[in-house]
Amino acid sequence: MTNRVKAISEYVNNIFDSIENSDEKRDAYIHSYGVSECCALLAAKRGLDLELATVIGLLHDVYRYKTGITAWHSQNGAEMVRVAFKYVLKEIFTDDEQTIIKSAIYHHANKDLIHDKYDELLKDSDILQRLSFDNTYGWIYGQRLLHTLKELSLPVPNITILPKERIAAQSFNKSRFADIAESLAKKRITGEKSDTDFMKIINYYPEDSVFDGLKNAWCAAFIYHCCLEAGLDLPIRVPHIAKKVANARFNGVGGWYDWGMDNKYCHFEKDGFAPERGDIVIYNNIIPKENKEENSAWHDHIGIVLSCDNNNLIVAEGNTGNKNVSGIVERKRDKTIGCYIRIPTDYTYDGWKIDYKTGEIRVDKFEEDI
């Protein structure tokens, strides 16, 4: 085991050892190390770097096992690894190697698409690892498995490949969004580890420092949680927003503003925009200067509009008044209103179409015919 593989192994072992459920812990070890071994095997066959392949396999599902969240675990996993390379696993890999690792993790759930060689290596290895335990595969999984077995000159076992199935994309429900926000705000959620609702709100963010980092600063995380509960699919950070913006996570107000501007979902009262129930409101320097860091951005707080008249808004907020508690508050429609985000009711996230390395749309379909 090389020093770099040992460092990654220690990193993932630390995550897996903290899993309380014994079955989930066992699955984490078996699957991750199994995929890593399959990656090394296929890398040898395809003339790729064995060390890099081994590391990719070990890291590919760390987000899912750390948080217990499956939705967008590949894209969120790449984001988790990005932060780990910056603060925990510093200077172990070159920038180019980091990009290869993150890209493979980011795309590994997109089994129906073709990406670059290490991306494909992980996808095929993720499926191959299941061979010892499962004999039923979805259509794309089954076709990929058959391709890989043929590549390795292995006999085809007795497996069942299910027919193609179309899965309808989940769309955003604006009314449900407002209802959820109102219900949670009324519960007076407190930003403490003893509050189970609060721990659900911050569970999406995998770093151990997340509780301290969001202390008295979880208004945006509240919005993200409500959105996901209402059917809005979004990873914790969209990496390919226009380069002119900060591109922050959705647990920060800047993340919402950047995303809203990039998608042209931001609207301003000066343009005659009339807010409605279910719109997101971003405030303009509403937090007193003495409570903010120097040179802080103007967008310093966020909430969900429940109702409004010509002069005031009724808003559901997390961390309202910087008092570390959720609530429903009345806000004046004055200079403290920065802008609104109105998410279309037919919105579906399509960031999976974007290539991690280039930021360009890439939807090359996997060849299904054997």
Q: What is the pLDDT of residues 244-263, one digit of tens each?
A: 566 789 999 999 999 999 99
What is d(CA 159, CA 180) in angstroms, rounded to the nearest whole number? 43
Q: Is residue 370 pLDDT above 50, yes or no?
A: no
Which H or E run includes 305?
Answer: strand 299-308
Q: In sequence order, what E strands does 18-164 have?
A: 136-137, 160-161
Per cent of the chain over pLDDT 70 is 97
- Place 29 in a pLDDT band, splitting at 50, 70 and 90: very high
- Place 132 in a pLDDT band, splitting at 50, 70 and 90: confident
Using DSSP's 3-state secondary structure scheme, residue 286 falls into coil
Please provide the average confidence, as pLDDT, over all residues in the chain. 94
What is d(CA 102, CA 46) in angstroms, rounded to the nearest whole number? 20
More confident residue, 243 or 209: 209
What is d(CA 28, CA 48) in angstroms, rounded to the nearest whole number? 25
Phi, psi of 298 (to 5 degrees): -70, -30
Residue 296, number of CB atoms within 10 A of its CB: 12
Look up the pTM and report it.
0.95
pLDDT of residue 110: 96
The mean per-residue pLDDT over the stretch 42-71 comes to 98
What is d(CA 179, CA 204) in angstroms, rounded to the nearest whole number? 21
- The angle, 0 to 180 degrees and rounded to 10, between the axes of the packed helices 73-87 and 95-107 is 160
Rg (CA), the chain: 22
